[in-house]
Amino acid sequence: MKYEYILFDLDGTLTDSAIGITNSVIYALKKYDIKVDNRNELNKFVGPPLSDSFESYYGFSQEEAKTAVEYYREYYREKGMFENSVYDGIEYLLKTLKYNNKTLVVATSKPQVFAQQILEKFNIARYFAYIAGSNLDGTRVKKDEVIQYALESCNITNLPKVIMIGDREHDINGAKKVGIDSIGVLYGYGDRDELEKAGADFIVNTISDIEKMLI
């Protein structure tokens, strides 16, 4: 394939992070006396900016959502961040792509400081030229902003050589806004309908399918 620069989403693409994220959401919602009966309903929080999710799914105002994110991080910093695991096959994929001279970059809406810690904890930070994320103050949280920041930080200007890999519509929409191609993955937390509607250039079922596409 023509792609030389490979951007990866984190949650639902590199790592299976639902347990830590949903535990953190449950912790935050308890502060508002909101009880969650079905944890699986909270999987929709995996991927999108947190404040948007609190506003969309629970009708929080912007101010309430901002406070809910602070509560979320109380749990996430202590425990939730590492209630997480790297998908089987990801390290092999990263190693293979690096061996084939691809430049790998993380582009996540998660705060950059958390993303760095997670990837270092699981010993895969070493495969990436750069880890780009949002700021703790809630800025640079939209996916297109993160992707643009990642490209600028790595001095990547040849956009036809760049592709974004992610599991949710936000990854695909962000890539389209910036003008790069995208791969939607079905092993994460989005589904085919969501990725097709967002306009993913390619959709794959498995991690090994990514390797077949890019090498």
What is the predicted pLDDT for the residue at 48?
Answer: 87
Closest CA to 133 of 112, 151, 153, 149: 112
What is the predicted pLDDT for the residue at 47?
Answer: 85
- Average of pLDDT values for 164-182? 98
Biggest alpha carbon distance in the chain?
52
Model confidence at 1: pLDDT above 70: no
What is the predicted pLDDT for the residue at 182?
Answer: 98
* Predicted confidence (pLDDT) per residue in 20-38, tens digit: 999 999 999 999 999 999 9
What is the predicted pLDDT for the residue at 159?
Answer: 98
CA dihedral 89, 94, 99, 105 (to 10 degrees): 170
Q: For the chain, what is the mean pLDDT?
A: 97
- Rounded distance between C-alpha atoms, residue 79 and residue 108, angstroms: 20
- Average of pLDDT values for 156-175? 98
* Predicted confidence (pLDDT) per residue in 48-91, tens digit: 899 999 999 999 999 999 999 999 999 999 999 999 999 999 99
Q: Which residues pair with 104 in a beta bridge?
A: 6
What is the predicted pLDDT for the residue at 3?
Answer: 98
* Predicted confidence (pLDDT) per residue in 113-143, tens digit: 999 999 999 999 999 999 999 999 989 999 9
Q: Name, in order, each residue with C-beta under 8 angstroms of 132's C-beta and a sequence gap of 6 or more.
A: 105, 106, 107, 108, 112, 146, 147, 149, 150, 153
Q: Delineate the domains of the chain, giving CATH numbers in brackets.
A: 5-16+85-214 (3.40.50.1000), 18-82 (1.10.150.240)
Give 42's pLDDT tier (boundaries 50, 70, 90).
very high
- Average of pLDDT values for 180-208? 97
Which residues are known to be catalytic? 9
- Average of pLDDT values for 169-198? 97
E strands, 59-154, are 85-86, 103-111, 130-134
Measured N-to-C along each axis, helices 62-78 and 18-30 cross at an angle, to the nearest 10 degrees, of: 130
Q: Which residues pair with 213 in a beta bridge?
A: none
